[in-house]
C-alpha cells in the first residue's frame, strides 16, 4: 500500500471517498521516502478515527504557531474544538490557511546502528482554510466531538448551555488536500553495511491504552461507570491489540 501513487499532481481535488484514492498535489506529494506515501482514503479515515488530538499550525502576528486541538472526523472533514477566548484560535477561524497534523507512533524501530534507528508510524497532514461552524451545524459538531472521545456520552449528560456553546470554537477543515505517510516493519540498512548479527535489533511496539477509570470524589457511591466510559476503554484496548 505504501508505494501507491497518484500520477496527477496539481490543484486540490475533491476528497477521494468515491474513488477510494486521495488526490496528490504539489503540496502533498511526499519527496522524502516517497514509497511511504499512501493514497488509500480508507487509511486516512482510520488514522483520523483513532485520533484524539490534532496539532494545527497557523501564522499569527507573523509568527508560526502550533496548537493542539481536540478533533474528530466528520465525513469528508476534520472537526477541531477549542475556546473562543484564545486569540490564536480566532486566527485559525479568520480565513487563513492552516495545516493540521496527526501522528500515531506504533513502535520504536531498533537497528544495529544509531543511523538506522527509526519509528513505525501512521501520519496525516491536512492543508486548507477551516470554516467556523455556527447554529445547528455547530451543535451537531459538538455532539460528534463528544461522542468521538466518549462514544454515546452526549446522551448521558445535559445539553450545553448557550453560554457554553458561545465560549466554544468549532472549525471544520475539509479533507481535500491531505498527505498520508506510513512506515511499518523492521529496521532497514544498506546491503553493504555488513552489520554485526550479534547486536540486537527489532521493534518495540507502542499503543495508546486506556487504564481503569478514576471516579470523581463528588460522584455518589451508587453511580456505575457509564456506557460511554466503558466504550472508550474498550475502544483503546482493541486498538492496542
Q: What is the pLDDT of residues 64-104, one digit of tens each?
A: 999 999 999 999 999 999 887 767 777 787 888 999 999 99
Count CA atoms closer than 13 A to 108's CA, side-chain side: 4
Q: What pTM was estimated for this model as a whole?
A: 0.87
CATH fold of the domain at 9-190+197-206 = Pnp Oxidase; Chain A (2.30.110)
From the list 79, 4, 81, 80, the residue with the least C-alpha distance to 41 is 4
Task: Find the mean pLDDT for residues 169-181.
Answer: 95
CA angle 234, 204, 38 (to 5 degrees): 75
Written as nine digits, the cell of 223 is 453511580
Written as nine digits, the cell of 98 is 492552516
Q: What is the mean pLDDT of the chain?
A: 88
Written as nine digits, the cell of 151 is 462514544
Asked if 108 contacts 97 with a C-beta cutoff of 8 angstroms, the reply is no
Q: In DSSP terms, which residues pair with 187 in a beta bridge? A: none
Q: In DSSP terms, which residues pair with 179 in a beta bridge? A: 125
What does the pLDDT look like over 3-59, one tens digit per residue?
333 333 444 445 655 678 899 989 989 988 889 999 999 999 999 999 999 999 998
Sorting pLDDT into bands at 50, 70 and 90, what band is 239? low
User: Given this model, what pLDDT does residue 13 score?
Assistant: 47
The per-residue DSSP string of the chain comes to: -TT---S-EES----TTTTSB--EETTT---SSGGGEE-BHHHHHHHHHT-SEEEEEEEETTEEEEEEEEEEEETTEEEEEEETT-HHHHHHTTT--EEEEEEEEEEEEE-SSGGG-EEEEEEEEEEE--EE--HHHHHHHHHHHHHHHSTTGGGTSPPPPHHHHHTEEEEEEESSSEEEEEE-SS----TTS---TTS--EEEE-----------TTS-TTPPPPHHHHHHHHHHHHHH-
Residue 146: exposed, middle, or buried by beta-carbon count in 10 A (0-12, 13-18, 19+)?
buried
User: Given this model, what pLDDT does residue 6 score?
Assistant: 39
From the list 137, 124, 155, 159, the residue with the least C-alpha distance to 49 is 124
Q: Give ranges for CATH 2.30.110.10 in the chain.
A: 9-190+197-206
Q: In DSSP terms, which residues pair with 79 in a beta bridge? A: 72, 172
Rg from Cα positions in the chain? 21
Asked if 52 contacts 73 with a C-beta cutoff of 8 angstroms, the reply is no
What does the pLDDT look like over 118-143, one tens digit per residue?
999 999 999 999 999 999 999 999 99
Amino acid at each position: 500500500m505504501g508505494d501507491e501513487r497518484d500520477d496527477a499532481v496539481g490543484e486540490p481535488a475533491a476528497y477521494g471517498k468515491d474513488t477510494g484514492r486521495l488526490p496528490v498535489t504539489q503540496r502533498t506529494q511526499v519527496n522524502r521516502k516517497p514509497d511511504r506515501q499512501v493514497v488509500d482514503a480508507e487509511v486516512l479515515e482510520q488514522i483520523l478515527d483513532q485520533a484524539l488530538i490534532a496539532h494545527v499550525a497557523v501564522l499569527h502576528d507573523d509568527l508560526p504557531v502550533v496548537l493542539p486541538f481536540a478533533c474528530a472526523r466528520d465525513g469528508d472533514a476534520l472537526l477541531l474544538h477549542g475556546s473562543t477566548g484564545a486569540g490564536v484560535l480566532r486566527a485559525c477561524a479568520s480565513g487563513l490557511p492552516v495545516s493540521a497534523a496527526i501522528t500515531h507512533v506504533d513502535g520504536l524501530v531498533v537497528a544495529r546502528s544509531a543511523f538506522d534507528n527509526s519509528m513505525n508510524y501512521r501520519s496525516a497532514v491536512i492543508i486548507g482554510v477551516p470554516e467556523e461552524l455556527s447554529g445547528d451545524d455547530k451543535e451537531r459538531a459538538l455532539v460528534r466531538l463528544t461522542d468521538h472521545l466518549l462514544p454515546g456520552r452526549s446522551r448521558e449528560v445535559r445539553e450545553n448551555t448557550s453560554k457554553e456553546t458561545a465560549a466554544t470554537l468549532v472549525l471544520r477543515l475539509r479533507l481535500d488536500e491531505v498527505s498520508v505517510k506510513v512506515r511499518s516493519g523492521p529496521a532497514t540498512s544498506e546491503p553493504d553495511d555488513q552489520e554485526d548479527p550479534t547486536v540486537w535489533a527489532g521493534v518495540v511496539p507502542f499503543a495508546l491504552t486506556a487504564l481503569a477509570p478514576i471516579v470523581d470524589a463528588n460522584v455518589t457511591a451508587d453511580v456505575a461507570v457509564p456506557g460511554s466510559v466503558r466504550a472508550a476503554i474498550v475502544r483503546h484496548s482493541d486498538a492496542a491489540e
